[in-house]
Structures are given as structure tokens and as C-alpha cells.
Chains A and B, each alone.
Chain A
Amino acid sequence: MRKVYASAAQALEGLVKDGMVIMSGGFGLCGIPEALVDALRDTGAKGLTAISNNAGVDGIGLGRLLETRQIKKMISSYVGENKLFAQLYLGGELELEFNPQGTMAERIRAGGAGIPGFYTKVGAGTLVAEGKPTREFNGETYIMETGLVADIALVHAWKGDTEGNLVYRKTARNFNPMMATAGKVTIVEVEHLVEPGEIDPDHIHTPGIFVQRIVHVPNGPKRIEQRTTRTRI
């Protein structure tokens, strides 16, 4: 099976429908599948539910799909860098489900691993617990959370081979490996595309079985939200 597609637009072809659930990797703007998100915007699909730790920033990443009102609902842990998001949400134009960041990561991991639900103490006694079943373990209250899956998962990796074996780089890994496992179809943009055998099998982070489509995006933009440096003395 050929997994490599010539462009981000072609990698999405035949998959995108109004009202579908998408996952999009990254933490802030670090490790986001920016080319695939832009291609998703260009399909014009509407009423999307987007599962992503953040909502990009104004004008970048998922922020672009907010501008075009293509997202109906977001499942996120932190959206503080996006003014349009706050405006749409407070104006009732956008549904929002906040998840504690680790709960969200685990829900995606569970979804990809065939686990429909699990118990966690995170959020017990807070708004997050409202409406969720609880259970006592060793005298402590735990709340039930459900696994998450998506119609398509958009992932960013540093290096991938044509079989879909992936390696992430530094903190650009974040949510990408779990999302790769939780998409019914997982589409990856890689900075470096190599032939099978060029990545040491011991160093592969995501095995190719989780990846259906790959697009090579060399020299894509890498953005920094908070450039913090020190001075040489």
C-alpha cells in the first residue's frame, strides 16, 4: 500500500466531511501539523469537532479554522493564547469541553488502545467531575473518563519512513504519538522523509501500523510563542 502523498491537500482527499471529529497534535505551536490544518481549512468542511490541547493562536494553526467558523466544538485543556476563541465562546458560537491536560492525553491514549473508559482522581470534587460516574478505590474518589477517537488524526513528526514509522523531536512530541494511534485514519506530515531501514528500529516512536497517509513537508514554518534567552556574560 502506498502511504506517501504528494501534498497535504492530496493527503486529505476523500476523507473530509462536514461534522467530523478531528484530532490535531502539538503543544502551543510546537509540533503542530500546520500544513495539514491549512489543507483542512481549504476543504471548507464545516461543523468540525476538534480535539487538540490548544486552539493555536490568532491566525495560526487551528486559529485559522476558528476565523472561518469551521469548528463547532473544541475539546482542549488550554486556549489562553487565542483572543478570537474567547470571543466566539463567550458569544455562544463555539462549544467547548475543557479536559485536564493529563486526562485528555490519557483519553486519547485509551481511545487508540481500545479502552473505552478509565478512572482517575484528577478533577474529583471540581466542575470536571459533574455528570460523570464515580467510584471509590482504597478510600479515595475517582471519576470515570472515556476514551477518545477521531475520524482523522493530524500529526506532525520530525522524521518518518515511507512505511509510516515515525520519530518525533524534543518537546514537539507532546500529543502527537497518542493521536497517531487514535485516528480511524491518521495523516502525518514529516519534516524528513526517508526509506525504510534508515531509521534504527529501536528508535522508532510510532510504528507504521498507526499511520495511513504521509506527506513530506520540508522547511515548514517553526514558530516560537515566547522567545526567552539569556545573555552570555
Chain B
Amino acid sequence: MAWTREQMAARASKELRDGFYVNLGIGIPTLVSNFIPEGMSVQLQSENGMLGMGPFPYDDEVDPDLINAGKQTVTELPTTSYFSSADSFGMIRGGHIDLSILGAMQVAQNGDLANWMIPGKMVKGMGGAMDLVAGVKRVVVLMEHEAKGESKLLKACNLPLTGARVVDLVITDLGVFTVDKKGGTGLTLIELADGVTLAEIAAKTDAEYRVALAA
């Protein structure tokens, strides 16, 4: 039994703190917005030029001029502000965003992240991912532990990097790992998903890691 996508998002929501400005990536990270604890003030940033992103609109509120970075229609809040892409990435690059939660194809034990390109195959582009991982104060990866039976948590990435030594925490469907991106202690397994054993993680993980489960 591993975590579902919702359980992964719920676990990621524990990284939120009152007063945080947060950027959520496309896919499972977007689900984290459903798990913001009651009473906690968290402002969501959308890199296409919006701070204070509201929920999806009701049918009669849909506005083509109001979308998030995944091109989905969203709504504004009393706290909302709009700005240009240059100001948006000034916010990101300048270290004003507290937390970025994003997906990945591969993460290496040194904190390297790959999530934008498969040479010869996928031609989509990095969008804002390189800016986010380089500029945001804390980077949390939310991803499936394996893809097609292959570990996504590796000794070294073999896909082109999105950022070198940028990841702080990895949450997969099997558990949670901290990353010491300055070197030092490397990758450390700190939590197991419900019903997951150390043996299962060992069998499904290519990267080297220490185990320091919270009591």
C-alpha cells in the first residue's frame, strides 16, 4: 500500500507555514491547494503574473483573461494582485517566494532535478521550472517513486537537468526523503508511507540514502 495522489498532496501540505507565499507546479502539486490547513494564511503565486490565486470558478464566473500557469481558469481573491512576467520572475528569482512544490522525472541524491526534457522525444520546454528551482527558498518535489518500474530517485540524473543541487525534500508515494544539497549527509529517508516497508523502498530506490525515521 502506497500513498494515493491525494495522500501525497496532504503530506506536502505539512510543509506549508502561516504567511507563506507558495508556487505550486502542474499535476499532483496543484492538489496541495486542497489541503491548506484551516486558519493558515497561504498566498499562491502563479508565474504567469498573479499572486493570491483563488479556486476554480463557478460556471458563470469563467474569465478567459484569468488563468493559472497550467492555463486553467481560476478566480481572484480580495488579496489578489496581477503583474507582468518580468515582475513575476523577479519575485521568484529574487528569493521572495517561500516554497515551490513541483513534479519531477528524476531526482538525484545530490539534489539535482530533471523534469523538462527527454532528448529526441519530448520537446515541450522548461517553462518557469528552472527559474523556480534556482530562486525559491525551499524546493519540494512531489513525484511517483518509480516510472515504468524504474526508480526516479537516482545516484545521478541521466536526463538533462532543470537545476543542479536544488531539491530540499522529496515526497513520493512510498515515503519522504530530505536532501542535503550542500553535500554532507546526502539523501535521508525520514518517513514511510502507510504500509510501506524499508525493504520495499530499498528494492525500488537506485539512490544511496540513510534511514532516520521519526519515532
Hey, which bits of chain A sit against chain B, CB under 8 A?
A: 27-31, 53, 76-81, 85-86, 89-90, 96, 98, 100-106, 108-109, 120-128, 158, 168-178, 222-232
A228 touches which of B72, B123, B131 (Cβ 8 Å): B72
Kindly specify which of B7-15, B51-59, B141-149, B202-210 makes contact with the partner chain. Answer: B51-59
CB atoms of A170 and B55 under 8 A apart = no
A102-B128, A105-B86 are known contacts. Are A227 and B62 too (CB-CB below 8 A)? Answer: yes
CB atoms of A173 and B84 under 8 A apart = yes
B127 touches which of A29, A77, A169 (Cβ 8 Å): A77
Shortest 3 CB-CB contacts between residues of A and residues of B: A102-B89, A125-B164, A102-B131
Complex: how many Å from CA A225 to CA B125? 18
- Per DSSP, chain B at the interface is loop
Interface check B73, CB cutoff 8 A:
yes
A27-B49, A79-B124, A98-B126 are known contacts. Are A105 and B85 too (CB-CB below 8 A)? Answer: yes
Instruction: Known A-B contacts: A27-B69, A101-B85, A103-B131. Give 19 more (CB < 8 A).
Output: A27-B48, A31-B65, A78-B125, A78-B126, A78-B127, A98-B125, A100-B128, A102-B93, A109-B86, A125-B164, A171-B50, A172-B65, A174-B85, A178-B85, A226-B67, A228-B57, A229-B59, A229-B62, A230-B56
**Interface size for chain B: under 10, 10 to 19, 20 to 34, or 35 or more residues?**
35 or more
CB atoms of A230 and B123 under 8 A apart = no
Kindly specify which of B99-107, B155-163, B169-177, B193-201 makes contact with the partner chain. Answer: B155-163
A30-B67, A106-B89 are known contacts. Are A126 and B162 too (CB-CB below 8 A)? Answer: yes
Instruction: Give every chain B residue within 8 A of A127 (Cβ-Cβ).
Output: 117, 160-161
Hey, which bits of chain B sit against chain A, CB under 8 A?
A: 46-50, 55-59, 62-74, 76, 82-86, 88-90, 92-93, 117, 120, 123-131, 134-135, 160-165
A86-B123, A98-B126 are known contacts. Are A174 and B64 too (CB-CB below 8 A)? Answer: no
CB atoms of A128 and B130 under 8 A apart = yes
CB atoms of A171 and B127 under 8 A apart = no
Complex: how many Å from CA A96 to CA B58? 39
Instruction: Give every chain A residue within 8 A of B49 (Cβ-Cβ).
Output: 27, 171, 173-174
Quick one: closest B residue to A123, CB to CB?
A: B130
Chain A nearest CB, measured from B110 CB (Å): 11
Instruction: Give every chain A residue within 8 A of B55 (Cβ-Cβ).
Output: 230
CB atoms of B86 and A170 under 8 A apart = no
Chain A nearest CB, measured from B57 CB (Å): 6
